[in-house]
Structure 1
């Protein structure tokens, strides 16, 4: 059992709190019984389980397990009330092939918003989520928790949105951009057979260069006095509309 927070393994685990180190190691931390169970059931490779002393786990998976003291677990945990189980998981890459329904995210920076959007895309049966530059890391702890395990169910891609849009349009995918500028109410448009939905930054919206790539610009009417909808809520409305 590891009892010192100065232990080299503990230092390595704590480094996974930072995006730079996650990218360098191509690994990330998952915390809590539900999320650990979800990642074990998925096709992601779980490299190691970290279990606080006194916590019992039941798993048929043959995964290396390290027991640690309460002090050590508290040092690596990012939740306020740790459940005493975490996993070191290898990041997964996918071969990209345009699907029928795609969510494209341009520079969304709030982890809760991104996690909710990934979870909703999973629930709505979307094929992929594409994250453009400036978007929060999908392996951020708060993003992972907000996905409630959907991160392990739907392929996530990161890169230049223009490149992905070009590949989608070559395959006959219609691209919608959620924006207020020169846009039509979303219910006024026919739903294409194959569609990619672009949503943008919480404050600035979609970058003009990205919005210019779209085949249609759409907006959700506001009937009350609210200035706008939260990006995760707006994404949910549009994704379910596209699937209806």
Structure 2
């Protein structure tokens, strides 16, 4: 036997775990998992739970986007407990929030929503929002920071601001391998209470260890461009087709 493999602490599955964040090749001690794996599971579970219940730090996010003059809104879910129990209330704006939104002639509005992981929005939402709003050929409404928000809250925000398209950057349901995953939902001509999920395009797993922010911004921008051309989003708009239209054309030598 190779001397490097004779150590009792040698883990023959380590190379597989380096290739993925999935919980694979955990090993066993008798009929149970090794103590290290049990502790890793407990830590991952705690992070996921904390991501769901941690409140969005609105003050710091607003400060990071101060030059874009963000607007703060609330859903009809009065607190986190109600938000988790009543998903429908997270899809509706309070009357005070609706009144705070200024109507204008906008091409798009970006919503930063806490969703099921305020951690994700806190860490990645501001930078992605700023990158997207740098597109010179789009008239953006001031970004909207939404608390206790579901994806469909973006439909009401778009209607209140007069935006043709809404991009909802929202914290995704945390798992045991990622608690900071951000999702982007793009909807053209949303209709509050009537737009179906099939009428949206989604880009998920936006985070440093998943889909990097610059690549996410590129994909979202491509979908936005094709959505404006087609006048719709959802199942009839394919991400590959959108990316192909924005890819640089190679010239023959």
Normalised by the size of structure 2, how large is the TM-score?
Answer: 0.30
Higher helix share: 2
Higher strand share: 1
